[in-house]
Structure 1
Amino acid sequence: MIHAVQDALLALAVAALGVAEIWVPFESVNGQGSPVVSTVGVVIAAGLLTQRRARPVLSVGVFAVWLVIGVTTLGEMQVLFFGQMVPFMLALYSLARHGSRRLAWTGAASAAVTLLFGDLFIPALQAPPEIIFHWTVCALAFAIGWGLRASEHRAVAAALRASQVEAASRELTAAAITDERARIARELHDVLAHSVSVMVVQAGAAAQAVDDDPAFVRRALESIRATGAESLDEVRRVVNMLRDSGEEAGLVPQPGVGGLDDLVAAARATGLQVTSEVTGDADRLPAGLSLAVFRIVQESLTNVRKHARADAVQVSVNCEPHQVEVRVVDDGAAQASSPGSPGHGLIGMRERAALYGGTLEAARVADGFAVRAVLPRIAS
């Protein structure tokens, strides 16, 4: 709507200037011809320009109007700047800017035919300076419109590509989060399943071994057995929904802080100079939290090997009374990542930290890259 109003006002201004040029008259009027016929041509051309963006094809009519007038008057027509040349330039610009590629060149050809007719049959247009002038300004008008059109198309294409990359990145990130949560659920299943299985076995053995203890103890042990069995069944039901078909639930204990030495040794075998330090009472960490610490260190070391030109890595785990702080710092320079890469490793580490209400920060430091995770400690 705004563009329609703007085009109407522009056409009205062109018509007013053209009519004023004819009847005042302005010094820009050349040649012999009927002012009435020229006025009709100016008004029709201005009317066509009101649709220069909505229906660009009508802009070709601007050239046709003056070509028809020139042919019917056998070249005895007025030559106008505001009434003819300005509408010519606007029509050429509009065709190149808003029309299709085919329409733009068709319009340019129509304008060229009209200008050639003027050069051949209208004496006022036959002087060399005049020929150079009107061909040059018309070519410039077309070139400006074409250039803006090309710039707009490039901008739209770039925005579309950026939108597609962003959408693909969101999809990959969502898939990575889903995969990581399923992996976490499977690992927590193994942790809980192992612990609960041990509890069930121990409770059963205690119930059978107790001969002289009061009946209350026996009932308590039986309650432990029943609760443990029910918990184990519930964990299996929940995690079975997340497991891929064909995976078998295992009762193998998952790694924890105690397995960091093996992790560091494996990293050293690849050529990295890895130093590690674990402080505090790491042995008393809950199994799930200990597993989260292990996985964060494991993923950090994997990222160092894949994405950094590092020689040395420092791993530190500080087990404080209320939280566990994990730091992995390398001395490498980052390598270029693929466009749109969502950083699945960092996503997985953040999911693990968030699972325990913690936070994870990953950023470049003065001489390398650092990962720092803070996990609130759950009393064991």
Structure 2
Amino acid sequence: MDVWWRRTADVGLCLAVLVTGLTEIWLPLGSRQGDGDPLATSVQVLVVTASLWWRRTHPIPTTAVTIVGLCASAQLGFLLFFGQFVPFLIAVFSVARHGKGREPWIGAAMAGAALIYADLFIDLLGGFGEMLYHWGVVGVCFAFGRWQSIMASHARSSQRRAVAAEVAAAEQAAQAVIEERTRIARELHDIVAHAVSVMVVQAGAAEQMVTDDPDRVRRTLATIRRTGNGALAEMRRVVTMLRDTDEVGLLSPQPGLSGLQTLVDDARKSGLPVEFTVAGAPRALPAGLDLAAFRIVQEALTNARRHANAATEVSVGVTFSADELRIDVRDDGCGRPGTAGTGHGLIGMRERAALYGGTLQAAPLPDRGFAVAAVLPLEPA
């Protein structure tokens, strides 16, 4: 679209200069001086005008053509303002605006030499006032072209920096997702490993009891089945996560909602005024889901401690219902200066909620404060 617009503007410019120059010759206009060959001058105007089409891509040749057209007026007998001098000014502007490297200064030297020749050898351009006008107008055109070139260069640099910053932010966010998924995978690995360990112990016990107590064996086998089903469910999730095989963590259960009271007590000791409530009938949760809920509350409290300035109330609410677990963490503080953070905490909470088919919303409150709301689906009890 931008190229199409530039080409359309160049066509319009060429046509405007051509029509004005030919009109200046044949009507004639008052800006025409001298008495020469109209046909030859018309051909000269046509060639000079056509060269303006390449003023962006080949500014030095365009400048050369317009200089030849201007200086040829001494032989053609006509001196044209719109058909010769205006194309020359456009070329001077173009070489300053679109020239690369040394091209603007080469074009300026060419234009200066052309003006010296014209002022000295074209009789129709005589007079000190004419010379001041020519040099002044050409200098303004060149300076304006250079200014636009510098501004365009700054704009391109700013755009490149903006793109680089956007790419860096995207890479940082992607890296944060990978790191959080790796952390979640490690924790799920611990849960599965613990569950398998329980299964092995229970199976060994059942093997010893197989002839002594059939009822107890059945109960043990039922425990193995439930533990195995839970381990398989977690394994399905763990295979979708990125893993760091160098570190597998400790083969021990991870924290869950039962540890929230301790988490809240620790937050209170650090000076955070936390109110903790549980609504609905608490129920046993799958180990992975239990861990995800705990980590969401933990990260939300960490964010509140880090970012909530002058908070007078922080509320943590856990609500059990038949088919979902809802977590709400709110504070009435305002962000501390210089604690914008990287956003990795929110990424981690969203990853954990999404892993179990849930949703998480985190946003500032209308007046002040911040709210985190997570909904995790539950299977029927």
TM over 0.5: yes
What is residue 61 of structure 1 aligned with on the other side?
A: 64
1:21 aligns with 2:8: no
* Structure 1 residue 100, shift from structure 2 partner: 1.5
1:285-296 map, 5 Å:
285-296=285-296
1:40-189 map, 5 Å:
41-66=44-69, 68-69=71-72, 78-122=78-122, 124-127=124-127, 129-189=129-189
Distance in 2 between residues matched to 1:120 and 1:271, nearest whole Å: 88
Partner deviation per Cα, 1:10-58 (whole Å, 9 max, x = no partner): 3344234323323432211235666566445433322322221232221
Which one-letter code corresponds to 2:29 in the other structure?
A: F
What is residue 197 of structure 2 aligned with on the other side?
A: 197
Distance 1:338 1:117, change over 3 A: farther
Q: How many residues align?
A: 375
Unpaired runs of 5+ in structure 1? none
What is residue 350 of structure 1 aligned with on the other side?
A: 350
Distance 1:243 1:27, change over 3 A: closer
Which one-letter code corresponds to 2:57 in the other structure?
A: A
Distance in 1 between residues matched to 2:71 and 2:125, nearest whole Å: 17
What is residue 376 of structure 2 aligned with on the other side?
A: 375
**Corresponding residue SS for 1:115:** helix
Partner deviation per Cα, 1:313-349 (whole Å, 9 max, x = no partner): 222222223211111212222356799x762111110
Deviates more, 1:284-293 or 1:13-22: 13-22
Distance 1:316 1:364, change over 3 A: same
Distance in 1 between residues matched to 2:352 and 2:233, nearest whole Å: 22
**Corresponding residue SS for 2:102:** helix
Partner deviation per Cα, 1:269-289 (whole Å, 9 max, x = no partner): 433222222333335233222
- Percent same amino acid at aligned positions? 46
* Structure 1 residue 304, shift from structure 2 partner: 2.5
Distance in 2 between residues matched to 1:117 and 1:24, nearest whole Å: 29
Distance 1:293 1:231, change over 3 A: closer
Which one-letter code corresponds to 1:378 in the other structure?
A: E
**Corresponding residue SS for 1:284:** coil
* Structure 1 residue 267, shift from structure 2 partner: 2.6
Which one-letter code corresponds to 2:377 in the other structure?
A: P
* Structure 1 residue 101, shift from structure 2 partner: 4.6
Distance in 1 between residues matched to 2:55 and 2:200, nearest whole Å: 83
* Structure 1 residue 59, shift from structure 2 partner: 1.9
1:203-242 map, 5 Å:
203-209=203-209, 211=211, 213-214=213-214, 218=217, 242=242
Partner deviation per Cα, 1:180-235 (whole Å, 9 max, x = no partner): 22222221222233234334423432442354545x97588568759968997997
What is residue 322 of structure 1 aligned with on the other side?
A: 323
Distance 1:219 1:103, change over 3 A: same
Distance in 1 between residues matched to 2:141 and 2:211, nearest whole Å: 106
Distance in 2 between residues matched to 1:373 and 1:61, nearest whole Å: 71
**Corresponding residue SS for 1:50:** helix
Deviates more, 1:129-138 or 1:186-195: 129-138
Distance 1:196 1:160, change over 3 A: same
Distance in 1 between residues matched to 2:117 and 2:339, nearest whole Å: 58
1:284 aligns with 2:287: no
What is residue 335 of structure 2 aligned with on the other side?
A: 334
Partner deviation per Cα, 1:145-172 (whole Å, 9 max, x = no partner): 3344334333333332232222222222
* Structure 1 residue 351, shift from structure 2 partner: 0.7
Distance in 1 between residues matched to 2:100 and 2:292, nearest whole Å: 59
Distance 1:307 1:128, change over 3 A: farther
Indicate if the aligned counterparts of 1:199 and 1:225 stay in contact, CA closer than 8 A: yes
Distance in 2 between residues matched to 1:242 and 1:21, nearest whole Å: 76
* Structure 1 residue 61, shift from structure 2 partner: 0.9
Distance 1:262 1:127, change over 3 A: farther
